[in-house]
């Protein structure tokens, strides 16, 4: 059922990803103008990710009816398939953000979705089915939902579950999202819909991120007052200054509880770039331009936390082990599970972007 109130009015708040999770949703990739070679390499990677997560939580995968048989064949038997139409497979952004209350009840939020920028700089023209996915997921899991009156994607927000929200100005203030709203008006809406007390605005996301700098590609909240931040020590890397700007904001702020924020630096893989072969397998489209040699917006921060497990993208043999080591030290109570995920990166995101956790 669609509700006419707001979560804050009703006593519901946005929990952290490191809190208990009951299930994780993905969607099955098939767009030929985003996923190369008829999406087959991407499907293999999505299946590996879904199957790995299914060892620690229930997994459901939204699938368009024409792809059902192939998905069923590649996914483990405990992964449940659900027939939901969508335009592309970024469940973090098209699925619901689920909020909880102190009694353990859950409700979903359906944000307005416009393919990361609508007519201004959206990645495709038709996003009507994407915009209905969140409500469908809520219906299937049997929870009521709120329809937010503004454009937002799940990848653009991170929380500590204790009143602090992290986001980027680059994304939420992009002219393609809510040009009619000021920064203070957007912040007021975030407080109404996520019941947060404080919003920490980092200036920019990761270099060349076509989502206009989603926060989940730059950093991740791993505990109250503790974050990992994508980092490079190479002054010639365009990410060098962007990471330092983010660090400066995080160092100058305290969280909603007044705590200083502990920053763990996570090295960037690469730099990584599209190969000629990878680009040649994608159908040409106006919105998603993929060119050989173009810098990929690659990040180890784009991982998913599920019930004391971290599903980490493996992207570069030169830095993968270092990323695992740093996260293991920063998250000693979590098991780090690395999954090769370059095929997801080629589509413009990573493990966090293609998953949406439903809190327990």
State residue 176's pLDDT score.
Answer: 97
State residue 286's pLDDT score.
Answer: 75
State residue 114's pLDDT score.
Answer: 98
What's the token pair of residue 223? 């505990």
Q: Which helix (H) or strand (E) holds 33?
A: none
Which of 64, 138, 171, 353 is the catalytic position? 353
State residue 198's pLDDT score.
Answer: 98
Residues linked to residue 112 through DSSP beta bridges, in sequence order: 151
Cβ neighbours of residue 294 under 8 Å, at least 6 residues apart? 208, 273, 274
SS3 97: strand
Contact 186, 173 (CB under 8 A): yes
d(CA 55, CA 50): 9
State residue 9's pLDDT score.
Answer: 98
State residue 289's pLDDT score.
Answer: 80
State residue 284's pLDDT score.
Answer: 85
State residue 124's pLDDT score.
Answer: 92
d(CA 179, CA 292): 33
**Would residue 171 show up in a list of annotated catalytic residues for this protein?**
no
State residue 99's pLDDT score.
Answer: 98
Burial 84-120 (b: 16+ CB within 10 A, else e): bebbbbbbbbbbbbbbbeeeeebbbbbbbbbbbbbee
State residue 145's pLDDT score.
Answer: 98
Report the DSSP pairing between strands 335-340 and 309-314.
parallel
State residue 301's pLDDT score.
Answer: 98
State residue 202's pLDDT score.
Answer: 98
List Cα–Cα distances, 75 to 49, 82, 83, 193, in angstroms. 10, 13, 15, 34
What's the token pair of residue 309? 């497990």
Contact 45, 347 (CB under 8 A): no
pLDDT tens for the 360 residues of the chain, in order: 999 999 999 999 999 999 999 999 999 999 999 999 999 999 999 999 999 999 999 999 999 989 999 999 999 999 999 999 999 999 999 999 999 999 999 999 999 999 999 999 999 999 999 999 999 999 999 999 999 999 999 999 999 999 999 999 999 999 999 999 999 999 999 999 999 999 999 999 999 999 999 999 999 999 999 999 999 999 999 999 999 999 999 999 999 999 999 999 999 999 999 999 999 988 888 778 888 999 999 999 999 999 999 999 999 999 999 999 999 999 999 999 999 999 999 999 999 999 999 999
């Amino acid at each position: 059922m669609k509700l006419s109130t707001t979560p804050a009015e009703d006593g519901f708040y946005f929990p952290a990803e490191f809190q208990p999770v009951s299930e994780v949703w993905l969607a099955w990739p098939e767009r030929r103008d985003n996923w190369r070679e008829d999406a087959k390499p991407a499907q293999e990677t999505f299946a590996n990710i879904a199957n790995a997560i299914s060892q620690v939580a229930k997994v459901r995968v939204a699938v368009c009816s024409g792809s059902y048989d192939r998905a069923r064949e590649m996914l483990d038997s405990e992964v449940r398939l659900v027939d939901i139409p969508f335009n592309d497979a970024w469940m973090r952004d098209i699925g619901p953000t689920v909020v909880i209350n102190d009694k353990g009840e859950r409700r979903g939020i359906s944000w307005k979705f416009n393919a990361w920028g609508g007519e201004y700089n959206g990645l495709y023209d038709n996003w009507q089915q994407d915009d209905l996915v969140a409500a469908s997921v809520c219906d299937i899991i049997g929870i009521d939902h709120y329809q937010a009156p503004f454009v937002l994607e799940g990848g653009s927000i991170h929380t500590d579950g204790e009143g602090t929200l992290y986001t980027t100005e680059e994304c939420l203030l992009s002219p393609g999202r809510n040009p009619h709203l000021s920064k203070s008006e957007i912040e007021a809406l975030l407080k109404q819909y996520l019941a947060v007390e404080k919003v920490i605005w980092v200036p920019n996301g990761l270099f060349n991120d076509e989502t206009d700098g989603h926060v989940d590609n730059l950093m991740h909240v791993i505990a109250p007052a503790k974050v990992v931040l994508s980092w490079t020590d190479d002054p010639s890397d365009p990410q060098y200054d962007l990471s330092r700007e983010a660090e400066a904001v995080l160092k100058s702020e305290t969280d909603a509880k007044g705590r200083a924020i502990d920053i763990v630096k996570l090295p960037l893989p690469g730099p990584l770039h599209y190969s000629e072969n990878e680009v040649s397998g994608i159908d040409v489209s106006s919105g998603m331009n993929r060119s050989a040699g173009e810098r990929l917006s690659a990040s180890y921060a784009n991982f998913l936390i599920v019930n004391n497990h971290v599903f980490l993208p493996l992207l570069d043999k030169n830095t993968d082990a270092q990323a695992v080591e740093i996260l293991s030290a920063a998250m000693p109570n979590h098991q780090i599970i690395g999954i090769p995920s370059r095929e997801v990166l080629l589509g413009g995101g990573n493990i966090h972007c293609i998953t949406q956790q439903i809190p327990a």
